[in-house]
Structure 1
């Protein structure tokens, strides 16, 4: 009997007598461990940030010097080096425009390794709306650090012990060449960048800017980019200074540098509290000041906490669950929390800085789209849970096209050539197919058409390696070969097999919009290209395989894949599942190979390319197998209420979105199809509040540890026979009712 459903059986006995709101079940520490469920697996890459949903700036305790490949907070760390206003979206992308503040007693120590203070997790509280930790100031005393956060602004509250010397250390930029590795090049940034701070004793504040982008080597230069900040104190600044690297200048009011900041010093009595308000902006200091007046007009720390808590509660109560334990609710609502963080709002009350033309614009903007990951489940989930944001998210991608020439692959906050294909096409097309029209459809089609039809600059001269230093935008690298040969050749372009398959997914998506707009010639061409995946299927081995430019199979059959193997990608053509089944000899051979993928340990639940694989059993006559695997993979082996609680990187909410869809009982296998593949619900009751006041109620009758199979499923009383339900049906609300059984339905 699974642990999950041992808990379900006793759910009624263990449900709390005291009412708890949905937000009370969120545990932001889930997924914060850098280590994964097993050796060689990554942790969740999440952080216990404090802010409103989709906030521009996240406020978090910084446990180490962040860079691409290292989160600002890692659960295994034993110390804190600052409270950070961060824009790092996930572990494999960089922070930018950041600033941190660190409390301290005793002698002044400014560099991160010197100022670090240890802590114990038992002295830590993490909520979406509040964070606190006790830092060990010395052997006998501690400093309590607390965080409240809004959208662009936050407040820190420090409670000091009695001390003759106490300090607050501000770090405005951190270009540390000691952090150099294969993913992080500091040479160029050290030559070009300088941060700035200014201490204003009249207005009792420190202002400055940080021009650093940790992923700058992967994108174009931005001469005007700056993360502006204003730091205000409720205690009068009297003793102060600035620092750059190891040089401390007491009494200095201004500092430029590559690893620098400021400090204020004071004497404290026991339990002296100091509040620090932090405002951020990518537009200007004036805008940061305006943001602060809107979000934190006074020094009421508790009001910020309360307002942000209410904001999260409003967003999280989009889903109500019943009949499950508190542990299950915690996993579910934490997953939902993780889906409401990215892409981040990038506009500041009607204006935004564009990292695509390096200018200020009027309008709404979002940024930090992890598109290779999130086109699969996160964006489809947001269509259900956050419909009011969808048009803005689409418009933001189209603005990037207008301002930079292409929609992005992984904006951070400008172009980076990370991962493969132009999955903004899938996001825009899926929104279009599902009825969203709050943007220019002509502009949207122009942007998608360019991705599908136009090769990037220098296409045939470049290998397009992942994380290559920036030369130009990659778009669909190798597209010239893809169109000419029907595949991307492995001896000319890296990750060629994965590219061939994923370009076909996006071609299918663009084709659906072309068809709707009456562009028949484009539609036919795109649909032809969407079948190019068949050209990298090797019938002799039964796997997708790399081909050379001369059409011969490569002598290295395991080359040409992105974050995976031939097992990871052989079932990857989600846009044409009947075509894949036919290619592999029919339903039985297809199902047999798919079973081997799972039974022999090839399936990787911890990475995105296989997120739809469970549901492929619906298409080859084995829906009961999909139901069995949904139970297995939504359980403890992939999701737990613990820091090591997400099997693999959450990737800006994608893995969490997969979990939520799978728990509800359906999944968007093919983007821009308007269809969901039905699995098996894992909770007895889930209600989803949709747009226009509609409600989707999902019931699993007789669900139990043994009853993991679906006997029948009905939508508003009508029997569903093909394991498919449309977005059109779901979007209007209704009751999706599953009758569960212990017997797999193999007929």
Structure 2
């Protein structure tokens, strides 16, 4: 999900080089045995001058799908700005963030910042300390930096900070050097300007606890959870010599408690203290639960190195399953291994598991706060939030069915919980429904799971939920425009469904983004039909498949483009009615019926290819935004796989690299990276409501994947080898032949079952275009 005013200024930052690590080893070098994590660069996607050209990522530390990500803070984050930018050179704290994407706001936070001296500065703009990029190291399991507490003075570069984390607890270690009789201290910022919070200092327990009510998107959506809070407990390894609270920039020395807007606390340590560790548990349930999370995740006596090894092991269990060989690594800034592993690292952070433990033993009950009910629930299952579905339905959820299949059923159950609470499935969930973006693509997320064999959830209830999407207009549907980020609206769902049900399109003169909505609703009808079929409602499935042909009602045979229509059937201005795109990309936005789309063109597939050629050569493709992601694969679908291969390789080179500027557009909860990861393997889910992948061009000579067990695997994992000799080392882009476990594949399409059940997928590659796959997939 990105702004419509997309532009790319990579030429301005082309001098940005790949991250160089200048590591000063500790006595116990926890960077040893990092395996493939050496190829992960969390700084990818952190550099840019504007939200539109920034990947929107942060150099976070958290295990896969963790509730809280700990990040260095160089900026105060808000909607359209994340807490870190690679261009900055001052550190203002280490933040527990729950901001899932750059265009979405923060849901509670706590920030800790160390310092030296008697002048304690609680305000963001005053507490920043300089750092040098050569003293910064970012990995999936630990972040390290050296800070200057003297602004370049005699004893500069005298704070070394190391940060690691579990799913609910941040573990920081600070070494204070050359103190020269100055006191070490920590600042804890509990709430920001205009947001109520509280802090309480417990000197006898060496703890600071608190909360805040910050929910930056409080104007969006119908739910207003009044009791929402983020709670925290910070436990320090050294006793306090003094303490106090802060209100804005004012300090109240010796005071233990404050509740107000813009509050915080500070604690100081003896001047002889040279190392302080602090573990901070966070919770959406209560201060007591935050303390429980701390005691369960990282109990007293846990060495910092142990915490590092735990999160490292968690990431190695995921990323270490993939072994890549045959790579052209002559250009470090475009090292495809770094792009691939970092992409998978990004994709396996979302959706986030917001459940909190009640016991340290596995399989125990979980607690989680729901903004929909404004209350705490308990279950024996995880609860997932942060659903950027307009983005992620395209490829992210297909990726999860391959690399994290054990999570998929639980994710579907989380969606159904939201339906039970609100009566609607989410569009964009971030604690509550934000009504961000358009359409009910959650229908496709559920269909995606079902067609891939995931059904350990209430399928009948899933159909109940999807039925509401497909047949029940939102409240006040005929009275509201439902424009992007319109505040205080009911659940948006399929805005304009009233007219869509009446005559097959959303009226441009009555609803915003009408053309995109019509095309998206047609796709969602196809997805809804899939869910209906799995639930046994064949009558509605048939009706919905017929409705999925409504995209044809926007086809203007004179212009050979899709075009918005008014209530009386007349054509609207061709530039009106689009969501983060235009007529060029949305004319190609019929993912569920590519053959039907091709038949609309005068000249069929050849004419469609000519339009696609014009689309790409004319500069209309914008890979930095999600509606374009399937576009190059349409070449393969209509019988021109060589053209697909050429475009895919160009897009991968132009839009991804191994530097901090390595994403041309916002990550959007894994979708940008999911495109690269799946494309690098050689296939992509053009129609994510089906079990089909369209073949493109693999990027490596060989990829060996230890696949985790999925549906029907009886808990057994197995190894899949995808071989494509010359694809990486010699840059051969064109497929000459394809085999799956020795069986020849002639059409450029693979089924999900073929991929995850196979032992060997063999591509024969060529330097020149070939005739393979010219029959297409449609």
- TM-score (ref. length: structure 1): 0.92
- For residues 267 and 286 of structure 1, what CA distance do their matches in structure 2 show? 29
Q: Which moved more, 1:486-495 or 1:460-469?
A: 486-495
Q: CA deviation at 1:733?
A: 2.1
- For residues 251 and 414 of structure 2, what CA distance do their matches in structure 1 show? 43
- For residues 471 and 350 of structure 2, what CA distance do their matches in structure 1 show? 29
1:98-177 residue pairs with structure 2 within 5 A? Answer: 98-106=109-117, 107-138=119-150, 139-140=152-153, 141-142=156-157, 143-161=159-177, 162=179, 163-175=181-193
- 2:646–2:733 CA contact under 8 A, matched in 1: yes
Please state if 1:677 is matched with 2:691: no
User: Structure 2: where are the runs of 5+ without partners?
Assistant: 1-31, 330-334, 358-365, 710-715
Q: CA deviation at 1:246?
A: 2.5
Q: CA deviation at 1:698?
A: 0.8
- Name which of 246, 257, 260 aligns with 1:257: 260
Please state if 1:447 is matched with 2:461: no
- For residues 414 and 209 of structure 1, what CA distance do their matches in structure 2 show? 19
Please state if 1:386 is matched with 2:404: yes
CA RMSD of aligned residues (A): 1.6
1:59-70 residue pairs with structure 2 within 5 A? Answer: 59-70=70-81
- Name which of 60, 65, 68 aligns with 1:49: 60
- For residues 568 and 81 of structure 1, what CA distance do their matches in structure 2 show? 42
Please state if 1:710 is matched with 2:735: yes
1:305 aligned residue: 308
Deviations along 1:304-352, one digit per CA (max 9) or x if unpaired, are: 0011111110111232211125632211111110111111111112121
- For residues 719 and 414 of structure 1, what CA distance do their matches in structure 2 show? 48
SS of residue matched to 2:191: strand
1:7 aligned residue: none
Deviations along 1:495-528, one digit per CA (max 9) or x if unpaired, are: 1111111111111111012123331221122112
- TM-score (ref. length: structure 2): 0.89
Deviations along 1:61-114, one digit per CA (max 9) or x if unpaired, are: 011110000011111122111110110111001111210011122312111001
Deviations along 1:142-176, one digit per CA (max 9) or x if unpaired, are: 3212101111001111122305243211111113x
Please state if 1:646 is matched with 2:663: yes
- For residues 493 and 78 of structure 1, what CA distance do their matches in structure 2 show? 45
- For residues 165 and 536 of structure 2, what CA distance do their matches in structure 1 show? 48
Q: CA deviation at 1:536?
A: 1.5
- 1:694–1:731 CA contact under 8 A, matched in 2: no
Please state if 1:248 is matched with 2:251: yes
Q: CA deviation at 1:41?
A: 4.7
Please state if 1:333 is matched with 2:341: yes
- 1:318–1:385 CA contact under 8 A, matched in 2: no
- For residues 170 and 269 of structure 2, what CA distance do their matches in structure 1 show? 23
- For residues 266 and 732 of structure 1, what CA distance do their matches in structure 2 show? 58
- For residues 571 and 264 of structure 1, what CA distance do their matches in structure 2 show? 59
- Name which of 277, 280, 296 aligns with 2:279: 277
Q: Which moved more, 1:162-171 or 1:434-443?
A: 162-171
Q: Which moved more, 1:20-29 or 1:677-686?
A: 20-29
- For residues 283 and 501 of structure 2, what CA distance do their matches in structure 1 show? 43
Q: CA deviation at 1:707?
A: 2.5
Q: CA deviation at 1:28?
A: 0.5
Deviations along 1:519-566, one digit per CA (max 9) or x if unpaired, are: 122112211221111111222222111211221111x31121111111
- Name which of 747, 750, 762 aligns with 1:737: 762
Deviations along 1:683-710, one digit per CA (max 9) or x if unpaired, are: 0101222223133221113435452111
User: Structure 1: where are the runs of 5+ without partners?
Assistant: 1-17, 176-189
1:294-693 residue pairs with structure 2 within 5 A? Answer: 294-299=296-301, 300-324=303-327, 327-349=335-357, 350-363=366-379, 364-554=382-572, 556-585=573-602, 586-635=604-653, 637-690=654-707, 691=709, 692-693=716-717
Q: Which moved more, 1:51-60 or 1:614-623?
A: 614-623
Deviations along 1:376-422, one digit per CA (max 9) or x if unpaired, are: 11110000000000011111111111112211111111110111111
- 2:71–2:94 CA contact under 8 A, matched in 1: yes
1:27 aligned residue: 41
1:697 aligned residue: 721
- For residues 313 and 621 of structure 1, what CA distance do their matches in structure 2 show? 39
